[in-house]
Amino acid sequence: MKIILNPNPNPASDADRAAKVAQGGFGKHYTDNMVLAQWSEASGWSDAELKTYGPLSIDPATSVLHYGQEIFEGLKAYIQPNGGVSLFRPEANAERFRRSAARMALPELPMQDFVRTVEALVNHERAWVPKNFGESLYIRPFMFASEIGLGVRPSNQATYIVITTPASAYFNPGKAVTVWISTEYVRAAPGGTGEAKTGGNYAGSLLAQKQAAAEGCDQVVWLDAMERKWVEEMGGMNLFFVKGAGQGATVFTPKLTGTLLAGVTRSSVLQVAQDLGYKVEEVMISVDDWHRGVNSGEITEIFACGTAAVVTPVGAAKSAQGTWPTGDGNPGPITNQIRQTLLGIQHGTIEDKHGWNKRVS
């Protein structure tokens, strides 16, 4: 895939860009450019074009608007100590994008084309990468069915786009979230699309998110669809639990059953926790295990992780059975240590032993 550079002739001024970066948030402002490529069954992938960020003109009968055949990714670029910029594990996102495409009957984008288009855009927009620890340039690659027509079948045309937005810390890291354990709604069922990063999984989750908010909670915890017993994920993040304290602690997470989304952060946290000397486990965790564990004090900390927020402490869970605080409800020491270590690796201030950072500028 050739990348044709046709950048925005009127990019934001230094002052305008600085003001937008300083505002932070998540997805509030987008950078000057985007990358776009088209696929058709007849001719495969087009060249990619780096061009001015802006609205798309879409026929009302475009397939994605009706049947939701769409996938996306989320990854970040971090400022490095010498002023350079690195991507965090982009190959892992490229590989997952390929798997999501296969599940959603979209064309597979070769991994090197995913990585090269992301690198090209981030390199071009490097002035938009925030300079503070914990901040980043969030990258959103996505692909959708762009065939025009209402026939229900895999689209014979697809559009791939990459956009970027400066991001401050997504959740306040000092504040633990409260979660609502939903027994009424499910996110994913065996044989469904839970393993794919597709918009429909999110669309189906919003009513439960609304219910969580009505219960005074920040996020939803999803249980398995079959027994409504096994803990799967929290909103769009993977969950972790800590048993015990100090160097003898065990860090464990729900095992991937085919209905969970395999987070890049999840896999990084498993490795970082092990590197820090903790025992790590991927196991089945029931709601009862959760309840009993926090009640007896065996479970000392709970946190969620994902690219957007990195690591977010879970201070309490609420369900139809009652409210169960985690410890004293404040972020725990192992949660903080893992968060700081992962962010340190991403920002190049802690040794990147596993070769996760990919330098782009």
Ligand X SMILES: *Cc1c(COP(=O)(O)O)cnc(C)c1O
Interacting residues with ligand X (CB under 6 A): 74, 197, 233, 236-238, 261, 263-266, 306-307
Spatial distance between the Cα atoms of 105 and 136, rounded to a whole number of angstroms: 32
Q: How far is the CB of 194 from ligand X (least distance, A)?
A: 8
- Pick the closer one to ligand X by CB: 11 or 236: 236
3-state secondary structure of 316: strand
Q: How far is the CB of 284 from ligand X (least distance, A)?
A: 17
Q: How far is the CB of 241 from ligand X (least distance, A)?
A: 16
Q: How far is the CB of 264 from ligand X (least distance, A)?
A: 3
Q: How far is the CB of 192 from ligand X (least distance, A)?
A: 12
Count Cβ atoms below 10 Å from residue 239 Cβ, excluding itself. 25
Q: What length is written for the chain?
A: 361
Residue with token string 């950078």:
31
The dihedrals phi and psi of 296, each to the nearest 5 degrees, come to -80, -15
- Pick the closer one to ligand X by CB: 51 or 228: 228
Number of H helices, E strands in the chain: 9, 19
Q: How far is the CB of 246 from ligand X (least distance, A)?
A: 27
Q: How far is the CB of 261 from ligand X (least distance, A)?
A: 4
CA 258 to the chain's CA centroid = 17
CB 20 within 8 A of CB 31: no
- Pick the closer one to ligand X by CB: 220 or 316: 220
- Pick the closer one to ligand X by CB: 68 or 149: 68
- Pick the closer one to ligand X by CB: 20 or 266: 266
- Pick the closer one to ligand X by CB: 74 or 154: 74
CB 138 within 8 A of CB 76: yes
Q: HSE (CB half, 13 Å, CA atoms) of 295? A: 8
Tokens of 137: 């340039």
Ranked by CB distance to ligand X, the top (closest) residue is 263
Spatial distance between the Cα atoms of 57 and 156, rounded to a whole number of angstroms: 19
- Pick the closer one to ligand X by CB: 50 or 234: 234
Count Cβ atoms below 10 Å from residue 148 Cβ, excluding itself. 13
